[in-house]
Amino acid sequence: MKIAFLLHNVYAVGGTVRTTLNLAAALIEHGGHEVEIVSLSRHREAPRFPVDPRITLVPLVDLRAGTPDTLHPAYGKPARAYPVADKRHHQYALLHDMRVRAYLEERCEADVVIGTRPGLNAYLAQWGPKRALRIAQEHLRHDAHSDALLRTVARRYRTLDALVTVTEEDAEVYRARMRLPGVRILSVPNIVPPFAVPPSDGSSKIIAAAGRLAPGKRYDLLLEAFTAVSAKHPDWELRIYGGGAQEPRLRALVDELGLRGRARLMGTVSPIEPEFARASIVVSASDAESFGMTLVEAMRCGVPVVSTDAPLGPAEIITDGVDGRLVPVGNAGALAESVIDLIEDEPARRKMGAAALASAHRYDPEPIVARYESLFTDLAASRRRRAWQKLHARLRHPTR
């Protein structure tokens, strides 16, 4: 089977890029499929993440200075088919509309085409080959999108075959709030492949956290919690990995809280697994998570995670008290208390780390590939029935 992914920019750094590359490689390795990734944009010579050489890359618009694409008349005009309400609309030109339409209508030979963000799913719904299965992936939460964007994609998604979220809780939200007769709405988690690093032995006095330094990740709350941890256990260190706009503010907060030398901003590190394996506890203080890749990556390294019970991912990843701890969102005291409990109970910490390592196998490539293959089979077998459901809905509610 030939499978094509529509991706914003495979040459950039981001969670969707990494998870798409993981899934593409797994579909080849464990399913024997032929896979190509269609990158709407290209801004550098080579991708930042390693790409399995068996994956075919198809860049559509070359943004590098001086290339013919940047001189094309359509490059200077805004996209018309890409939804205006999508946050990335300003990064799309009329040339993107033209190139993706030409690819989907004239060049695409895939049996399955998968879009990876709302704007690309809208392209797929409008121009995707009718003979192919057309699947929308959602890597963010339903509630992370504006009402205007949700109204736009609801109209477009009705022509698709399936909508796949990364958590079951988010799939339930879509089922309740977006009426899509004949469109399968289901969840399939991201693949988080095993990493060749010895697991943590739980003996270091290091607490780690990783992710973009953005307001929603609540590193300010983490530093507040660590103030209480450090007061009780001054020999423990907090290491925060990542970059972003919040870095100057967080550095100032470290000084303000008197944590210099004990709380460190380490910058962006990739891969992150060796750093997690050096830690004994990983912490996430986020207000919201679409999935929680760093949680699984930490568990892959045999490290228990203390996380806020943020919507939507953590509770589907962590079993509280077994392979990690869940605490209320926005509660620095509860975050500090759970970390202190693990610091002071080393046997429990090691046991929880071993359970985390075992639990992380849920995100192995093989079971995730099997779920996608089952979806492809079911969608192909149910095409006529689902087409009738769509037609029936249009006849009953022509104005919706």
Q: Are residues 176 and 236 in the same domain?
A: no
pLDDT score of 91: 96
Residue 396's Cα: distance from chain center in Å? 37
Q: Are residues 374 and 298 in the same domain?
A: no
Q: How far is CA 297 from CA 19, 70, 110, 248, 322, in A?
A: 12, 38, 32, 27, 17
Flag whether 28 is in a domain.
yes
Residue 393 one-letter amino acid? A
| Number of residues in the chain | 400
Tokens 């962006």 found at:
268
Tokens 């690819």 found at:
103
Residue 326 in 3-state DSSP?
strand
Strands (E), the chain: 2-7, 34-42, 56-62, 112-115, 133-138, 162-165, 184-187, 206-210, 237-241, 263-267, 281-284, 305-308, 324-327
Q: pLDDT digit string (tens) for 202-218? A: 999 999 999 989 999 99
> Do 111 and 3 meet the contact criterion of CB atoms below 8 Å apart?
yes
What residues pair up with 326 in beta bridges, in sequence order?
307
Residue 317 one-letter amino acid? I
Q: How far apart are CA 14 and CA 8, in angstroms?
A: 10
Flag whether 339 is in a domain.
yes
Residue 297 sits in which domain range?
206-362
Q: How far apart are CA 165 and CA 189, in angstroms?
A: 8
Number of domains in the chain: 2
SS3 content of the chain, % helix, strand, coil (to 5): 45, 20, 35
The residues of the chain scoring below 70 in pLDDT are 397-400
pLDDT score of 13: 83
> Do 166 and 190 meet the contact criterion of CB atoms below 8 Å apart?
yes
Q: Are residues 143 and 257 in the same domain?
A: no
Q: Are residues 8 and 157 in the same domain?
A: yes
Residue 209 in 3-state DSSP?
strand
Residue 296 in 3-state DSSP?
helix
Q: What are phi and psi of 361, to 5 degrees?
A: -65, -15
* Full strand arrangement of the beta sheet holding 162-165: 56-62, 34-42, 2-7, 112-115, 133-138, 162-165, 184-187
Decide: pTM greater than 0.75: yes
Q: pLDDT digit string (tens) for 132-166? A: 999 999 999 999 999 999 999 999 999 999 999 99
What residues pair up with 146 in beta bridges, in sequence order?
none
Flag whether 201 is in a domain.
no
Residue 12 one-letter amino acid? A
Q: Are residues 387 and 348 in the same domain?
A: no
What letter does residue 364 receive in the DSSP assignment?
-
Q: Are residues 292 and 168 in the same domain?
A: no
pLDDT score of 397: 65
Q: Are residues 267 and 375 in the same domain?
A: no
Flag whether 200 is in a domain.
no
Flag whether 196 is in a domain.
no
Q: Which CATH number does the domain housing residue 305 bear? A: 3.40.50.2000
**Sign of torsion, CA 8 10 11 16?**
positive
Q: Are residues 19 and 154 in the same domain?
A: yes
Q: How far apart are CA 50 and CA 265, in angstroms?
A: 25
* Full strand arrangement of the beta sheet holding 206-210: 263-267, 237-241, 206-210, 281-284, 305-308, 324-327
> Do 220 and 240 meet the contact criterion of CB atoms below 8 Å apart?
no
Flag whether 167 is in a domain.
yes
pLDDT score of 392: 81
Taking CA 268 as the corner, what is the angle to CA 28 and CA 225, rounded to the nearest 5 degrees?
Answer: 115
Nearest to 189 by CA among 326, 9, 313, 333: 313
Q: Are residues 304 and 348 in the same domain?
A: yes
Q: Are residues 168 and 182 in the same domain?
A: yes
Flag whether 118 is in a domain.
yes
Q: Are residues 324 and 339 in the same domain?
A: yes
Q: How far apart are CA 363 and CA 308, in angstroms?
A: 21
Nearest to 296 by CA among 307, 310, 280, 285: 307
Cis? peptide before 149, omega within 30° of 0: no
Q: How many CA atoms lie within 13 Å of 90's alpha carbon, on the beta-carbon side?
A: 1
Residue 343 one-letter amino acid? I
> Do 169 and 316 meet the contact criterion of CB atoms below 8 Å apart?
yes
Flag whether 197 is in a domain.
no
Q: Are residues 213 and 341 in the same domain?
A: yes
